[in-house]
Structure 1
Amino acid sequence: MVENPDAKLALVVDDSEMQCMILKNLLMEEGYRVLTGNDGARGVALYIEHLPDLVLMDINMPVMDGYEAAKRIKSLSPNSLAPLIFITSMDSDQAFVDSIEAGGDGILTRPFSPEVFKAKIKSIQRISNLYSQVKNLQQEQQQDAELAEQIMSGVIEARNFALDRIGIIKQAAALFSGDIQLTALCPGGNVNVLLGDFTGHGLRSSIGAIPLAETFRVMTKKGFSLLEIIDQINRQLYELLPVDLFCCVCCVSISSHERSAYVFNAGLPDTYIFNFEGKIKHKISSNHIPLGVMPNLLPQAQLQVFSVENNDRVVLISDGILEARNHQGEMYGARRFEFAAKQGFYHGDIPGKVFDAVDEFCQGRPQEDDLSLIDIPCHGWEQIPASDEAAHSLAISEMHDLYLESEPSWKWQLKLTGQRLALVNPVPMAMGQIQEIEGNGEHWNNMYSILTELYVNALDHGILRLNSELKNSAAGFAHYFMVRESRLKNLTCGMIDISLSYHPLQSGGKMIITIVDDGEGFDLAAFYEHRLKLKQADKVMLCGRGIDLVHQLCEKLEYMDGGNKVQATYVWAK
């Protein structure tokens, strides 16, 4: 009989040459190629060399018995079935039990007919084929999952902002991480950071990651406030996720301009603000339920505001770090994290030192949850106005067109009154209209800053009657923000009218922004006079930097009608 080189390979191990010959002939009749060995040790050696598809093993043999040989063979193939049948004359319950415990997948007791033998071989081979199909499917699923994870990582993480400055480190408990880390630059120069922890881990826990990331990035880019972004994410997750799946989130917005950190913690461990020595300045606990649990944020939901210095750092962590366990079942805990974070300050690597400490503590115990940490410096995010040299040259060369009272090519206007002033943020709406008509461009970042500063000035000082000097204390911005939120919630009257007028120029464009309010008005001259006195007295005035920025960016800035009307002219070159 000519052997088929593609036929399955069987290994027969028996100290009787006669039994080996009989079993070999029966297997060849079933289409197998056959190897034979006369003791357990030889059988193991042949298995290692040839990796057969089927093993028939006698029990009582010299050098190494069948039980020991079977155990070694099974230990060599933990990820495959490697079907093994014991062939024996021992007809007892104990022999059957010992055979199964040694790793046997079946047992045949002599004497048996050729028909029974062949039926047994077909049965075990059917199981082996099914096992191989399942393994192939698992491998395909694993490959698909790895591809999906790569795509998700590319969509979510590769587009993060300032990866060279913001320390992000994560360690997933499964292929798919239930944690999500996002960073994005606001049009006005602030940086927004989000750490999210979906329920559980693995593929199911990551299904909300892509829509969450897109909402966070798009709304940040359009200039929506942090609380508006959080509110929209909450609504989206509530509509998208099943009832048992939600997301603990901590969002932070760092404003170098205001020297403040705005924090919203919904279900994550404490967020930390460390000073330059690694000492804890603030521990910001969760003050809201996780996102996606309810259709709307809680009525009392608001940002917490903290003053920060240039060398401060904000650190966000997921609960997987604090709840990591060693072999004794002890949790890593907040105290160990705080110590490791301080060591990270000394070595200039907070994420690395914390994760090294967690790994050392866990002593190789399998990870139960995803681990994540984000380390954010509080300096270097100042907005640098785009160079005005090109716009200035344009203004000189087109002086006539620049100041000519011509009809605009288009106008946009929005008037808000009463409670709508507290509920609607018109700046992203205005910017969306501009970009829809005129397309994208870097000069619109300057436009966003101008529009934001002038609108906030009209709302805060004209309508809400807030005193800018509240910002001059160490915790001034935090106090200012709390008073602002309180007055906004109780706002029932007031009016702000915004209008944009676009005038195309040959080599660029001109936008005239006009904002009118019915509040107390803003006395620009008195403001500058007061600031000059403070400067002469060597006192620092933190407020007013927004007006300075607008002056730098605009060709013209004028307050009229007792400070209730402001008109700014912004010019840019193509």
Structure 2
Amino acid sequence: MKSLRLLVVDDDRLIGEAIQEFAASLGHTAVYVNGGSEALTQFSKQEFDLVLLDRVMPGMDGLELAGKLRRLQQGGAWCPLIMLSGFSEVDEQIEALNAGCDDFLAKPINFHVLEAKIHAFRRTADLQAQISRKNRELIRLREAQEEEKRIAQHLMARLVRNEYLNYPGVQHMIYPASLLSGDLLLVCPSHNGDTYVMLADATGHGLPAAITLIPLSQTFYAMAGKGFQLASIAAELNQQNRQYNPVDRFVAAALAVFRPREHILEVWNGGIPPALLLSEDGQVLRTFASRNVPLGVLPAEEFINETELCQIREDAQLILYSDGLIEGCNPAGEQFGKQRLLDVFKGVAPKQRLEHLRRKAFSYLDGQPIQDDLSCLLLDCPMDLHSTGPELERQGVVAAFGQWHFSVSLGFEQLKHLDIVPLLVSWGQALGLDQRMRSTFNLVLSELISNALDHGVLELASSIKGEVDGFERYMDERGRRLQALQHGQIEVEVEQKEVRDGRLLQVTVCDSGKGFDLQTLTPPDPASLAYHGRGLQLIKALSQTLEIRGRGNEVFVELHCPGSTAGAPDTNTQSM
């Protein structure tokens, strides 16, 4: 049994010493003082478990002392006070309790009753001590949690590149249900001018949900910035989630890329509400429903990374949103819903849609707390190539290292499974590709390899794209032929040379196909909306030299980057 420390205050020394001896017989310690001033001094110097104070004392009486003792206890541990008085009337007891005492004991003192009260207050003091310990533990836990949240917020802010979220043609909003959001919005422009976006919604809310998103952001930026295919990015994100997160922590996500040169929008949706493609006047041109499971659910060999492609035939805007937006409830418990979301956009100009949606959504909630993270991202998909905004400068630029060369031969297995263009561009950057050439090199290489694969190895006719729904049929047929591919080869050779007036980049792409006669090609009408025949015209416009060699299955391109390279050897080239 815990030994208690008592403070006894009484102007009658006999009573004080009697209580002192009785406390000692019970195994407790009692300090006796004969006045209020000395009691305050002792109470300030040391801790007591119980105070017994006389009602009537010269100078400072018991009522005044009780009030001062209670003020000294503020912010500290609770210490019970028992009033001792020769007056046992009810009013006297009420007055003592109102002054701050916890109990009342009439004189002459019944020591059996005093013993019972000491035991009772000891039990209460033990409970109070437990509560205090628990409270201190809760405070420490709260402080640790706040520190974890602070670090997580800082980390998430560094992982999300806000300058990209403010990229021209992109609008966004995100409102977390708790301090940290379990939704993630990412935007990344690639070297070739394409714009990638992602909306991810992790399982749960707050810190646990936010942490599961950390492995995904850097993978998305790294692959999107290099121009990897959307299907490859989705597959890698799935693998990253399975590798780093617990098995029960999956991430619903929607990924999209807009390719302004080809006017193509590509979407992968795994567990996110249907993405919307809206016209200028807010009508739905197409929906991209979830056709895949969220990231992290299936192993790599079972994961489906097929995407949907759509031709952009007029200025349009893609809307990605989380389920927190449409599942938000008003005071009556009714959800905002998909139809109300569609109605919000009707007749509203693209640049005003986000703010209009924000006002409508929070007006509908009517003060109700957000139950799930609420997020939305809008991506402009214009027909005008120049309205997509300037290409952002990349960080960590590698200086040009002069002359270098590499070549690679790709068999049918690599053509079926590898997203080769970003890899080749990365090689060029590592070797010292002039930074001014990177965007053009990416674009030209993409067009050359795409033509070699589609028309050379797979023998697809571009004219299919010009037919009704031809683009979709073309892509479906491309996927079937690529999966069934059992032979074929593409060889790529890239060389950077220093010439007197700058640097020269030479690119050769040769395929194992039948080839074609350049003279039989009909130049595309610039005013036409046809989605074929533009590749070579684009390469010709970007390059200084374009040669069709061999039987029409080899293309040679030279890209010139002017600059000061005094003393460099001269290189002569001729166009066909």
| Residues in 1 aligned to 2:353 and 2:79: alpha-carbon distance in whole angstroms | 55
Q: Which residue of 2 aligns with 1:397?
A: none
| Residues in 1 aligned to 2:103 and 2:209: alpha-carbon distance in whole angstroms | 51
Post-superposition shift, 1:133? Answer: 4.9
Structure 1: tracts of 5 or more residues without a match = 11-15, 36-49, 71-84, 91-108, 387-407
Describe the shift of the 1:87–1:161 C-alpha distance in structure 2 as closer, same or farther (beyond 3 A): closer
Q: Which residue of 1 aligns with 2:30?
A: none
Alignment of 1:274-423 (within 5 A): 274-296=278-300, 298=302, 301-342=305-346, 345-346=348-349, 348-379=351-382, 409-423=403-417
Post-superposition shift, 1:336? Answer: 1.2
Cα deviations across residues 218-256 of structure 1 (Å, max 9, x unaligned)? 111222111111111111111111111101111111111
TM-score (norm 2): 0.75
Describe the shift of the 1:121–1:453 C-alpha distance in structure 2 as closer, same or farther (beyond 3 A): same
Describe the shift of the 1:327–1:21 C-alpha distance in structure 2 as closer, same or farther (beyond 3 A): farther
- Does residue 87 (structure 1) correspond to residue 102 (structure 2)? The answer is yes
- Does residue 189 (structure 1) correspond to residue 204 (structure 2)? The answer is no
SS of structure 1 residue aligned to 2:162: coil
| Residues in 2 aligned to 1:6 and 1:275: alpha-carbon distance in whole angstroms | 77
Q: Which residue of 2 aligns with 1:135?
A: 139
- Does residue 520 (structure 1) correspond to residue 514 (structure 2)? The answer is yes
- Does residue 454 (structure 1) correspond to residue 448 (structure 2)? The answer is yes
Structure 2: tracts of 5 or more residues without a match = 1-36, 49-53, 83-88, 106-112, 392-401, 564-576
- Does residue 555 (structure 1) correspond to residue 570 (structure 2)? The answer is no
| Residues in 1 aligned to 2:176 and 2:462: alpha-carbon distance in whole angstroms | 46
Q: State the one-letter code of the partner of 1:216.
A: F
How many aligned residue pairs are there?
Answer: 490
Which one of 543, 558, 561 corresponds to residue 572 of structure 1?
Answer: 561
Q: Is the contact made by 2:186 and 2:217 (CA closer than 8 Å) also made in structure 1?
A: yes
Describe the shift of the 1:218–1:27 C-alpha distance in structure 2 as closer, same or farther (beyond 3 A): same
Describe the shift of the 1:194–1:21 C-alpha distance in structure 2 as closer, same or farther (beyond 3 A): farther
Q: Which residue of 2 aligns with 1:544?
A: 533
Q: Is the contact made by 2:495 and 2:506 (CA closer than 8 Å) also made in structure 1?
A: yes
Cα deviations across residues 338-384 of structure 1 (Å, max 9, x unaligned)? 112336x2484323322332222233333221111111110266589
Cα deviations across residues 370-419 of structure 1 (Å, max 9, x unaligned)? 11111111026658999xxxxxxxxxxxxxxxxxxxxx943211112223
| Residues in 2 aligned to 1:451 and 1:492: alpha-carbon distance in whole angstroms | 24
Q: State the one-letter code of the partner of 2:523.
A: R
SS of structure 1 residue aligned to 2:560: strand
| Residues in 1 aligned to 2:541 and 2:47: alpha-carbon distance in whole angstroms | 82
| Residues in 2 aligned to 1:274 and 1:384: alpha-carbon distance in whole angstroms | 20
Which one of 171, 176, 185 corresponds to residue 172 of structure 1?
Answer: 176
Post-superposition shift, 1:158? Answer: 2.3
Task: Tell me the percent identity.
Answer: 24
Describe the shift of the 1:555–1:415 C-alpha distance in structure 2 as closer, same or farther (beyond 3 A): same
Cα deviations across residues 45-84 of structure 1 (Å, max 9, x unaligned)? xxxxx878759799x999xx99xx99xxxxxxxxxxxxxx
| Residues in 2 aligned to 1:6 and 1:542: alpha-carbon distance in whole angstroms | 89
Q: State the one-letter code of the partner of 1:562.
A: R
| Residues in 1 aligned to 2:180 and 2:45: alpha-carbon distance in whole angstroms | 40
> Which protein is bigger by CA-based radius of gyration?
2
Q: Which residue of 2 aligns with 1:496?
A: 490
Q: Is the contact made by 1:307 and 1:476 (CA closer than 8 Å) also made in structure 2?
A: no
- Does residue 531 (structure 1) correspond to residue 523 (structure 2)? The answer is yes
Describe the shift of the 1:6–1:424 C-alpha distance in structure 2 as closer, same or farther (beyond 3 A): farther
Q: Which residue of 2 aligns with 1:432?
A: 426
| Residues in 2 aligned to 1:385 and 1:139: alpha-carbon distance in whole angstroms | 45
| Residues in 2 aligned to 1:61 and 1:468: alpha-carbon distance in whole angstroms | 104
| Residues in 2 aligned to 1:347 and 1:6: alpha-carbon distance in whole angstroms | 70
Q: Which residue of 1 aligns with 2:237?
A: 233
Post-superposition shift, 1:175? Answer: 1.5
Describe the shift of the 1:384–1:413 C-alpha distance in structure 2 as closer, same or farther (beyond 3 A): farther
Q: Which residue of 2 aligns with 1:244?
A: 248
Q: Is the contact made by 2:465 and 2:474 (CA closer than 8 Å) also made in structure 1?
A: yes
Q: Is the contact made by 2:165 and 2:171 (CA closer than 8 Å) also made in structure 1?
A: no
Describe the shift of the 1:9–1:354 C-alpha distance in structure 2 as closer, same or farther (beyond 3 A): farther
Cα deviations across residues 90-124 of structure 1 (Å, max 9, x unaligned)? 9xxxxxxxxxxxxxxxxxx9997578657755752
Q: State the one-letter code of the partner of 2:214.
A: I
